Amino acid sequence: MSVTLGCTAACEAAPRCTTCGLTKAPQGRSVPAAMAGGLCDDGCPGYRQEPRAGHLWSGELVRSREP
Q: What is the pLDDT of residues 11-56, one digit of tens each?
A: 999 999 999 999 999 999 888 889 888 999 999 999 999 999 999 9
pLDDT at 1 over 50: no
- Residue-wise pLDDT for 36-46, tens only, equals 889 999 999 99
- Coil, helix or strand for 33? helix
Please answer whether residues 63 and 3 qualify as being in contact, where contact means their C-beta atoms are separated by less than 8 angstroms.
no
* pTM, 2 dp: 0.83
